[in-house]
Structure 1
Amino acid sequence: MSVDALLAALPHGQFIGGEWRPSEATFEVMNPATEEVIDRVADGTPDDALAALDAACEAAEAWAATKPRDRAEVLRRTFELVTERRDLFATCMTVEMGKPLPEAYGEVTYGAEFLRWFSEEAVRIEGRFSVAPVSGQRILTMKQPVGPVYAITPWNFPLAMATRKLAPAIAAGCTAVIKPAHETPLTTLLFMQALQDAGLPAGVVNCVTSTSSAAVSEPIIADPRLRKLTFTGSTAVGRVLLRQAADHVLKTSMELGGNAPLLVLPSADLDKAVQGALDAKMRNIGEACTAANRLYVHASVAADFSARLAEKMAAMPVGNGLDEGVRVGPLVSAKQLDTVTDLLQDAVDRGARVATGGSRPEGPGYFLQPTVLTDVPTDARVFREEIFGPVAPIATFSTLDEAIALANNTEFGLMAYVFAENLGEALYVVERLESGMVGLNSGVISDPAAPFGGVKQSGLGREGSHEGLEEYLETKYVGIKL
């Protein structure tokens, strides 16, 4: 699809109460590959935020009373529309975020699957009935929607993060306000259009776009009518939101920062390990909270592994994600490029060796060559901070216990990867890793049917799977004396 066709299809305004409301103030959305302005989007205010919450609260009672099958059918129709419009969504994500077009199509499939999964879960919300063993009273439990939801989504997966939060909310009978990242609002607006076209009643989902997340979020979170906050983003921002949520004891889901270790154990199949590392590191240009951030390789295979990984990363074509054959697009912004470059330089200054990459290509766009660093000291910033870019730092270990200690030496605990053919060796490590998710001999394990989330300062709660729906439900107990 051409960019002109995309622009012609984009809706404009704040999506509130089933209407597209114009705004006097707007902000620019940039193409990170060309540094050109794609479009201008409504810049929301606190008043817009409260209007969106008003609409969600007004629709809440009726939507909660809707039959589960009716909610399921809306989600199913939305799944079909997103799938039908895959060219539109994929082009939009590539243009506003930078990921190569094949990866954008992959996100359409992944994001749409949350709609299909939760359309099926919507009709399986169940309580229970039992007899109390001592009193003999009857115990009745019922699951009910938690209430109005505020969802804040990041820029790196603009469709999938929206569907992963809104699909279970809709399935549970909740209404919602969503605030997308200002870098990538266009995909979310297209998603709002799909929900509307699928027949979602006015006010059930509302969208506010803004350059100031704090300005529009504060009045929503401070409003006692809000009952659920769900956020994907940095741990630093998550801590601030949790403090704000505490005033009204909001139910929260927090998918925060990651610092994923990738462990290559002595028994690893190096072909699998190299390909898995490539998948875990370079998905979404490395701009993923699940990206392999720290590669720890057993000393006996480190040289071979590093050489193979460097060869594969050096062969990945860099360029505009719309161009055929490109596998590495630009980072999302100049700020993000500077952050990654600073981390890379810090490692080199501390003694790391650049096996491949390490430079910015000439011309416009926020590009960085895929980079492999070897001999990285474990106190380098790349091992302590989330990289969010195409840089793979490698260090070695000698024993399994040393590898486990290195992997767990972080405040984060979202994702980890282990490559080993010896099952005993693999399970010894996997069971001791402080991580909410582990990929064993796999560099990509995210799936709408699996629970996604972390431990420690990587977040609270789970998204996807059966657990993802529970995050939007409350359990009510009724004691019955016959």
Structure 2
Amino acid sequence: MTGCSAPLRAPGTRTFAVLDPANLEPIGEVADHTVEQGVDAVAVASAAFAGWAGTAPRARAEVLSRARELMVADRDRLADLIVAENGKSRADACAEVTYAAEFFRWFAEEAVRSDGDYSVAPAGGTRTLVTHHPVGVAALVTPWNFPAAMATRKIAPALAAGCTVVLKPAAETPLTALAVAEILTEAGVPDGVVNVVPTTDAAGVVGAWLRDDRVRKLSFTGSTGVGRVLLRQAADRVLNVSMELGGNAPYVVTADADLEAAVQGAMIAKYRNGGQACTAANRFYVHADAAAAFVAGFGAATEALRVGPGSDPEAQVGPLISTSAVRALGDLVASAVDEGARIAYQAIAPSGGGFFPPTVLTDVRPGADILQREIFGPVAPIVVWTDEEDLLRQVNDTEHGLAAYVYAGRLQDALRLAEQFEAGMIGINRGIVSDPAAPFGGYKQSGLGREGARAGLAEFQETQYFSVDLS
């Protein structure tokens, strides 16, 4: 493995096909790395660590700044890749590239602001000096739903801190990660600092990384179930871990909310990336006084959505990532209907491929099975509420606590409710919470640690202090 990326196809290397979820046609092949090759990537990253860690923070910052400029300039090509292998609409793909590039800019700025501390010990006579060091080789594992942003959200702080990395992208979307690695090479990242390892043996490669003493950090984004498995494995070495796991975001609308704004926010929170986001609004709680008007507005907007492949410039919602995801979502909706829910509104979706029609479910009873699941698709179950205490019980009755949303007429009411939500990120009168300058992460079984903001840099650092005797 050379440079910042793995080869798309090396002689004698086994490969696997990457499919377009809109039509299930292959769009390319990439090297399918074995466990042994994954371990080789760790060796390369380990050999490059001392040099990169010793690079001046300003120099690391300038490399990240150049990467951001190159990524923005290459937005159209990167968006085409995301559309092809992920399936999201072109508008969503372009927005992702812009968002992903911002992590390079933010952490370029943070690279030169790794604060330390100097203080007099309370007992006097000694001084305490606090500094930070890069944690070492970092293993990064990213999902398919945001193939550019999930990569840069991990790579950027790791490089800013002085770490080298091995990155395993999702097998569904490796092309974007490889393209990001090529941009980093062009920006000046030295050979061996960033190593992309596509593989169909995710458990084998990542398991080997967790057993390797040269790996000092694991940063994982994915399902809570897989996160639990990785945490058990990481425990054997007491490995430094960051986990961004599943979500079950409530979307609360109060009686006096601005319903036009609430509908607009719901369209973003629910249907961005076709609902395939851990921060997506997963269950809607609408006050009885506002329910009829909200459901009518939201339903009409849902039915008006244009569903189609990302190659259609007018498509607003693309396919799900796979036909198995379509079947699972269809089963979930059928089960909800069996429990008494009603399909009140539904868009038109093409047949075949990974397409699923955006759907609004009403008459959903509190405690229904669909409210306990991370839907990960364009289905919006709506529950009507009247009692605030009961609402809060329902909102917090989940093992997850990643994101939440609340729309209220009075900001004081929105904040009062939000402070009682067991969630790490809350959108108040807006349908999006992600921002490179904000700490991304959740409560409970939605994860450990934070990405983005100043906290994102700290995830890739070790704190060290010196006790200095001045007597």
Q: Displacement, 1:15? A: 5.6
2:66 corresponds in structure 1 to 77
317, 334, 339: which one pairs with 2:328? Answer: 339
Structure 1 stretches lacking a partner, 5+ long: 1-13
Counterpart among 52, 65, 80 of residue 41 in structure 2: 52
Structure 1 residue ranges, 4+ long, deviating more than 2 angstroms after superposition: 14-21, 358-362, 378-381
Instruction: Pick the aligned partner of 2:133 from 144, 164, 184.
Output: 144
Matched with 1:211 is 200
Matching of residue 243 in structure 1 with residue 232 in structure 2? yes
Q: Which residue of 2 aligns with 1:348?
A: 337
Q: Does 1:393 align with 2:381?
A: yes
2:91 alignment partner AA: P
Q: 1:444 to 1:15 in 2, by over 3 A?
A: farther
Question: Is this contact kept in 2: 1:98–1:320, CA < 8 A?
Answer: yes
Which AA in structure 2 matches 1:299?
A: A
Deviation at 1:236, TM superposition (A): 0.2
Task: Name which of structure 1's ranges 261-270 and 128-137 shifts more when overlaid on structure 2.
Answer: 128-137
> Who is 1:473 aligned against?
461
Amino acid at match of 1:288: A
Secondary structure of the residue aligned to 1:300 is helix
Residue in 2 aligned with 1:88?
A: 77
In structure 1, the residue matched to 2:438 is: 450
Aligned-residue offset at 1:381: 2.5
Partner residue, 1:440? 428
Out of 174, 180, 194, the position equivalent to 1:185 is 174
Query: Which position in structure 2 is the counterpart of 1:282?
Result: 271
Give the deviation of 1:424 after TM superposition.
3.0
Match of 1:115 in 2: 104
Alpha-carbon distance, 1:19 to partner: 6.6
Q: Is the 8 A contact 2:308 2:349 kept in 1?
A: no
| Residues 22-59 of structure 1: per-residue CA shift (max 9 Å, x gap) | 25211111101111111111111011100100001001
Matched, 1:170 2:153: no
Q: Is the 8 A contact 1:29 1:37 kept in 2?
A: yes
- Please state how far the C-alpha of 1:183 moved relative to its aligned partner: 0.4
Partner of 2:287: 298
Query: Aligned partners of 2:328, 2:13: CA distance in 1, in Å?
Result: 33
Deviations 1:313-366 (A, max 9, x none): 10011111111211011001111111111111111111101111287632x321
Q: Secondary structure at the match of 2:383?
A: strand
Cα deviation, 1:235-284, whole Å, max 9, x if unaligned, reads 00000000111111111110000000000011211011111111100011
Give, in whole Å, the separation in 2 of the partners of 1:259 and 1:430: 15
CA contact (8 A) 1:293 1:382 kept: no
Match of 1:374 among 347, 354, 362: 362
Cα deviations across residues 340-396 of structure 1 (Å, max 9, x unaligned)? 11111111111101111287632x321011100001122332200100000000011
TM-superposed CA distance for 1:449, in Å, is 0.5
Please tell me whether the aligned partners of residues 346 and 358 of structure 2 are also in contact (alpha carbons under 8 angstroms): yes
The residue that corresponds to 2:258 in the other structure is 269
Report Cα offsets for 1:422-445 as digits up to 9, x if no partner: 233212211110000000000012
| TM-score when normalising by structure 2 | 0.97
Q: Does residue 66 of structure 1 match 2:60?
A: no
Kindly indicate whether the alpha-carbon contact (under 8 Å) linking 1:107 and 1:157 is maintained by their aligned counterparts in 2: yes
d(CA) in 2 for partners of 1:17 and 1:39? Answer: 20
Count of residue pairs brought into register by the alignment: 468
Query: Among 229, 247, 253, which residue is 2:218 paired with?
Result: 229
2: CA distance, partners of 1:80 / 1:360? 37
- Please tell me whether the aligned partners of residues 462 and 468 of structure 1 are also in contact (alpha carbons under 8 angstroms): yes
1:462 to 417, 441, 450: 450
Q: 2: CA distance between counterparts of 1:17 and 1:288?
A: 28
Cα distance in 2 for residues equivalent to 1:295 and 1:63: 47
Q: Gapped runs of 5+ residues in structure 2?
A: none
In structure 1, the residue matched to 2:209 is: 220
CA–CA separation in structure 1 for the residues paired with 2:93 and 2:353: 18
Structure 1 residue 481: Cα displacement: 0.3
- 2: CA distance, partners of 1:94 / 1:398: 42
Say if 1:32 and 1:366, in contact at 8 Å, map to a contact too: yes
**Letter paired with 1:429:** L
> The residue matched to 2:62 in structure 1 has which SS?
helix
Other-structure match for 2:404: 416
Contact 1:15–1:192 (Cα < 8 Å) also in 2? no
Between the aligned residues of both structures, percent identity stands at: 53
SS at match of 2:382: strand
Residue 294 of structure 1 aligns to a residue in which SS?
strand
Q: Which letter maps to 1:208?
A: V
Q: Which amino acid aligns with 2:214?
A: R
Q: For the residues of structure 1 that align with 2:5 and 2:190, how far apart are their CA atoms?
A: 7
Asked if the contact 2:4–2:184 (Cα under 8 Å) also holds between the matched residues in 1, the reply is no
Asked if structure 1 preserves the Cα contact closer than 8 Å seen for 2:415 and 2:428, the reply is: no
The amino acid across from 1:401 in the alignment is E
74-83 or 252-261: which moved more?
Answer: 74-83
Give how far 1:16 is off.
6.1
When residues 15 and 342 of structure 1 are mapped into structure 2, their CA distance, relative to the original with a 3 A threshold, is farther
In the aligned structure 1, how far is the partner of 2:125 from the partner of 2:335? Answer: 67
Question: In 2 relative to 1, CA 306–266 (structure 1 residues): closer, same or farther, beyond 3 Å?
Answer: same
